[in-house]
Amino acid sequence: MSPNEIIELFKQKPIDKDWSFSEYKPSDTGKWTHGYHRYPAKFIPQLVEKLMDTYITDRTASINDPFMGCGTTIVSAVSRGFYASGTDINKIAFLMTDVKAKPICPDYLKRKVNQFLSQICPLEKDYELISRAHIEPYIPERHLEKIDYWFEESVRDELGRILTVINEKEESVVKFFLLVAFSHVLKTCSIWSLASTKPTRDLNKRTTLPYDAIKRHLFKMLKGNAYFYDVVPSQVKDDTDSYLKLRLGCAKDQPVEDNSVDLIVSSSPYVTSYEYADLHQLSTIWLDLAGDLKEYRKEFIGTSYKNYYDKSLKSHIAFKIVEEMEGKNKKKAKEIEAFYIDMQEVFNESYRILKPGGRCCYVIGNTKLRGVDILNAEAFVDSLQHSGFKFDKLIKREIPLKILPQTRDEKTGRFASKDNADSQAYPTEYIVVGLKE
């Protein structure tokens, strides 16, 4: 399909009503382990399930997601007994996916969680008891200044003590499960403004006490694990390692062999919208996961910290978008160019790993930035063809429940709250499907 034909197809494309999933409640979208951790722009599992229903007939299928995020595709694949593989560059995302994808025997987990809560319970009411508990708080020294920027002193120390107890756990499944709960409560315990899509302090925020927050969340996670444990087929529970190939690393390098995957379901980062490295910084600093935050950011696709001078675009549609942006802002143009170059390399990798007859489904939205139409979805279709795919299907869906703000600031390109943004972003999004013939 030529670039002009692609553009024309998108202009004519009506909404596919049966892909909006507006009938589902948060209890449906957060079922099983899906509710373990908030995550920006995460899928709803129903979308992944519908794609699996549409394209998978084989009971031993293999599903891949190069941008796992918090693991929606991986968890959905595991729930059906499929093989699952994928990557994420973000250490917190990797941890979440790993924990969410592996069901744990509910009775055993309940015992371990209760034991943990009894160890930290002196922190519950009486702060005097903290010193009697003789738990030395673990606060990563080199991030102390940042931690103090986001947390009140008493909260910081309570969190530090909880972390000490978690770090002493010997069984890694229990330790990682607790770390995900710990990571999830950090935002509610800090003065990080939950209304803002970028790191902003809210000095009037009423923060939650760490013990209360983690206890409540752990009970929710226990319930989710028990449901998931019931759903996952026994052959997967008995041999999880053979079914899961997850790697902390770049989407351009998947931990699977050539021609081995049946279906890819993924959503890439959105160019210059979220700085994923920054959004997870509370978890990153507390768990001491990134050495140099500046270098860490550059590994992310879609970041504004990256540009290329030794690579060029293949997609004509991407080229035209970058060219138009050059007339408005040269730096932004380089960032957008880097995004499309990176995505072309990711699509090459998708082509390598899919079986002939296999499909990749990429979920992506378009937007406008500095007056330029950023036609991501059209550029993706064009790029998929350059990687060898046949363009198979286009789905246009409304996103009524998605945890995305619906507007973005036209100057910065970042998502913004509805009140202070001046352009609509992602009220609809596309699923572009490529077929490896």
Ligand X SMILES: C[S@@+](CC[C@H](N)C(=O)[O-])C[C@H]1O[C@@H](n2cnc3c(N)ncnc32)[C@H](O)[C@@H]1O
Structure token pair of residue 399 = 């996103």
Distance CA 362, CA 347 (A): 10
Q: Which stretch binds ligand X (CB under 6 A): 41-49, 169-177, 233-241, 405-413?
A: 41-49
Residue among 3, 69, 103, 413 that touches ligand X (CB under 6 A): 69
Q: Please say whether the beta carbons of 130 and 160 come within 8 A.
A: no
Distance CA 333, CA 271 (A): 11
Q: Please name the amino acid found at residue 175.
A: K
Q: Does 39 bind ligand X (CB under 6 A)?
A: yes
Q: Which stretch binds ligand X (CB under 6 A): 18-26, 86-94, 131-139, 367-375?
A: 86-94
Question: Which of positions 251-280 make contact with ligand X (CB under 6 A)?
Answer: 251, 267, 269, 276
DSSP secondary structure code for residue 59 in this structure: T
Q: Show the site string, 207-246: x = touches ligand X by CB under 6 A, - = not.
A: ----------------------------------------
Q: Which stretch binds ligand X (CB under 6 A): 14-22, 68-76, 281-289, 404-412?
A: 68-76
Structure token pair of residue 221 = 């996670």
Residue among 104, 185, 289, 301 that touches ligand X (CB under 6 A): 301
Say how far residue 48 (Cα) sits from the centre of its chain. Answer: 14
**What's the min distance (Å) between Cβ of 276 and ligand X?**
4
Question: What is the number of the residue whose Cβ is closest to ligand X?
Answer: 69
Distance CA 143, CA 359 (A): 43
Q: Does 290 bind ligand X (CB under 6 A)?
A: no
Residue among 72, 188, 272, 387 that touches ligand X (CB under 6 A): 72
Distance CA 201, CA 342 (A): 33
Q: Does 42 bind ligand X (CB under 6 A)?
A: yes
Q: Does 36 bind ligand X (CB under 6 A)?
A: no
Distance CA 273, CA 269 (A): 8
Nearest residue (CB) to ligand X, 288 versus 299: 299
Q: Helix, strand, or coil here: 38?
A: coil
Helix (H) or strand (E) holding 395: strand 390-398
**What's the min distance (Å) between Cβ of 89 and ligand X?**
4
Q: Which stretch binds ligand X (CB under 6 A): 25-33, 89-97, 148-156, 220-228?
A: 89-97
Query: What phi and psi values does residue 164 have, to the nearest 5 degrees?
Result: -60, -45
Find the DSSP H helices in 80-196.
Answer: 91-101, 106-120, 128-132, 144-150, 153-167, 172-189
Residue ranges binding ligand X (CB under 6 A): 39, 41-43, 67, 69-70, 72, 87-90, 93, 250-251, 267, 269, 276, 299-301
